[in-house]
Structure 1
Amino acid sequence: MRKTLLRITSLAALVMWPSMGSAQELVWWTMSWNEANARAFADEFIAENPGVTVRIEPNVAGGLQSRVLIAIQSGNTPDLIDIQNGVNIPLAETGGLAAIGDALASEGVDFEDFLPAAVETATYNGQVYGMPFQVEAHAFLYNKAAYRDAGLDPETPPTTWKEFLEFSEALTGSWSNGSPRYGYGVSGGGPDQPGNSLFRSLPFLWMNGGGILGPDNEVIVNSPASVEGLKLYVDLFTEYGYAPPSTLENDSNALRRLFSVGNVAQIPGATSDVQRVLEADPDFEIGVGLLPHPEGGEPAAILGGWNFVIPEAARNKELAVKLAAFMASPERQAIYTTTFPAAQSGLDLPRFDDPLFAAHKEMLGFARPQPTIPEWSQITRIYYTHLQEALLGSMSAQQSMDAAAAEITALLSN
């Protein structure tokens, strides 16, 4: 199988970056929302390491992977980078990241304390190319007022697919003021794709014993188990009418807005979705449970999160490893994360005792990393294209996944 290399233009490769630091200066690319925390931890690290300075350069998520690739190609890189866990392996595959597992262990980092699925997101060809610091997984969000209006117990969300369909049917209809209400929010379009649809539909395949790729990266997206799981996701919109007419335009932001105003009664969502709903309406009665699953099975979700990575061309790799190890502390991760720390002992800290987020915390135990092969981003685009065909009704679930399987097989055979 030919590796698909991540490429950038020769012009971009000539871009000179202001990030390269001096011999004892570490350059840390953090995210804009974490800049204050990064500066505070940098000051603490400097105090423990006299003679060292840390320059913080904040980024935004949009275009981050491209910026990192350009820096790697130019050879003018920062020393430490916060990166989404889904792009850790593609970056490692370029040869532009340093393998840091052994060095971190030498600095006292206990990978046994980390969520195993999180470590998988940083492991490529048996080497660890990143250190997870933040993890997250979707849970099942529901509107308690809608449950009461539909005659359902607002403290008991569905646990099985059978109950999920029954609840979705009961919730689909109208409020007393005549405004429409749909049982479940399906993501089938919008600007933030294919990620939104992938995070919301792939767990249906996983929970049913299927997936897009199998354990050895064999194509299983058109297997009976995969198609049955996908068909349920699609049928919520096409067959049952439990999802709103705007489904083919709905990404996560659109679904959250529909949920917030009562037009959709149930959605999968992250802790950030809960927070934003309550920020918009502090009186909103939101319930949170585990994602419903097949009878006798268990939930599944894609593991999201963030990792620290160190470029191979970093000027101060040893110091960068030391800074990453410093940030491995569960107490520091508990402050630096916007969701949950990758170091599992940090989950016992008081910050994570809020019962509203108990289900999200429990879902971490059922979360899985996305397949760690270089072609994964192309595979997800193929999958999304054919998922839309099923949602449009131009193909059956089986036909759409047969077409996806053929394209993915051809891609992996090149």
Structure 2
Amino acid sequence: LLLALIIPSLILILVFTLDWLAALLLLLSAPLIPLFMALVGMGAEKLNQQHFQTISRLSGQFLDKVRGLTTLQLFGQTDAAASLLATRSDAYRRITMKTLRIAFLSSAVLEFFASMAIAVIAIYIGFGLLGYITFGPADELTLFSGLLILLLAPEFFQPLRTLSQHYHDRASALGAGAEILSRMNRLGRGSPRGGHDGQRENKPQDSVLLGAVGLCYRQEQPIFSDLSLSFEKGDCIALTGPSGGGKSSLLHLLAGFVVPDEGSISVFGKPPGSFSFGWLGQTGFLVQGSWADNLRLTRPDASDIAIETALTNAGLRPLLESRDAGIHSQVSEDGQGLSGGQARRLSLARIFVADYDLILLDEPTAGLDTDSEVHVIEALHKLAEAGKTLIFSTHHQALLTLANRVLLVSDGELRDA
């Protein structure tokens, strides 16, 4: 902005001393470039917001379809899924072409007005030197002054061109920033407020606090209403109760996957999901690659020894020793080559590698055989002894015994069991 103001002003003053009519032509044409670029830029900002929204939705839908490909095939819905992705891809193509059209339009506007202004000045100087223009200062034009004005004219518009390009980049950044700010605002809604001011003064970094939390997926069926409770750092909390009572929803609130409709949540003095924590759902998450690749998702710099130690803590040492490739044994996204319990334990080993302070587990022993259950329970016992904060939902009696506090979650209400 400073360069676009200072440099054209200095050039304008110099040209004015040489020929006031040429300076007047520059002065009249200068505002046209920022004006029309601003008009084009406003349209570019809206289009960029639509562009980022479209690509984020398309990416999410594509990932969902890939993860659920087996289910889609079982129910004969692959054609419908492919058709939906084709429709979304075409929508993304159209919005991309609109964005490119705006980009080309902005360049055309910039070059058009700059070229037209320089051309008019060149015509004026040329006809003035030839004697065809007799009014104004044209009679006083010399070859030196005319050539100097022509050389300065492109430099007069160059800072305005640069400003216009940055303005267009700003519009693109605002389009992307809208998505980022939306995510940050959703996270900020979970920050502590309301009735926990006193508790926040008493070392909130050592507590998990829920104050008057309300959550409702459907208006007629609230999940939680005015829910308040607290956990201390290092607690081992078991959530039990009937299916559909709200155990998984409470874990999702603590993880930041779901934002409460009302109330506040503070996890160690921070909004949920704003820091790294351990998560183990009912289905282990794996990626195509080696065992080491899967464990390094949470800690890329983990050494081979650290990975082997984590696998041992998760009860996978015998299986590791039976594999020729060791930690470099391959596994697919669907856990091919591993049983369900082994895949779950491989995901659990990822938590040992990362060394999280908070670990959330949703039915960690559900659907496992007896041998896998024992290994998972032993692994959680090691985490509890290490002073980690464990919060898990379960119906397993051994896990309930492991916890130092058991909460019964039923019909949106919590009470000590």
Q: For the superposition of Structure 1 and Structure 2, which TM-score range results when normalised by the shorter chain? A: under 0.3
Question: What TM-score comes out, normalization by structure 1 length?
Answer: 0.23
Relative contact order (alpha carbons < 8 A, sep ≥ 6): 1 or 2 greater? 1
Structure with a larger share of its residues in helix? 2
